[in-house]
Amino acid sequence: MVVATPNTLRRGNKKTTGLGIPTIDLCEKSKASEMIVKACEDYGFFKLTNHGVPKKVIARMEREAVDFFSCPVSQKRRAGPATPFGYACKNIGFNGDKGDLEYILLEANPHLLSQRSKTISNDPSTFR
């Protein structure tokens, strides 16, 4: 999941299709793996549709992500360092597109996530 920073959110909410972000429909199983590889090679990310995750769960995770990235840096650093999972902030853009990139990588292991969730959310039960 990609979450825009508060500065980006203020600029407006553009649809992903207008940005050229690849959308992969998992109902097209015969094409899905090939499309995922191509999207990763060409863009580095993609949007999935028809994945079976309820919209309610997605909305809850998006709220948690926005809340987390709105916290002060000192609080976010408690969820790091990213080794490879956890929070990190990197300065990027040596080709003129400079800026900071914040990210958090979470492992889909319930035991490890439950420990990390205490540093990410005020209500770790949202990660169930």
User: One digit per residue, pLDDT tens: the chain, 128 residues?
Assistant: 555 555 544 444 445 555 678 999 999 888 999 999 999 998 888 889 999 999 998 898 888 888 888 989 888 888 888 888 888 888 777 776 677 788 888 777 766 666 667 777 777 666 66
Residue pair 113/107 in contact by the 8 Å Cβ criterion? yes
Phi, psi of 105 (to 5 degrees): -105, 130
Residue 45 in domain: no
Residue 118 in domain: yes
- Give the global pTM: 0.65
Residue 84 in domain: yes
- Which string of b and e fits 83-98 if b means at least 16 CB within 10 Å? eebbbbeeeeeeeeee
Residue 113 in domain: yes
Residue 55 in domain: no
Q: Could you give the number of structural domains in the chain?
A: 1
Long-range contacts of 49-53 (CB under 8 A, 24+ apart): 49/23, 49/24, 49/25, 50/25, 50/26, 51/26, 52/26
Residue 8 in domain: no
Range of the domain at 111: 71-123
Residue 109 in domain: yes
Residue 63 in domain: no
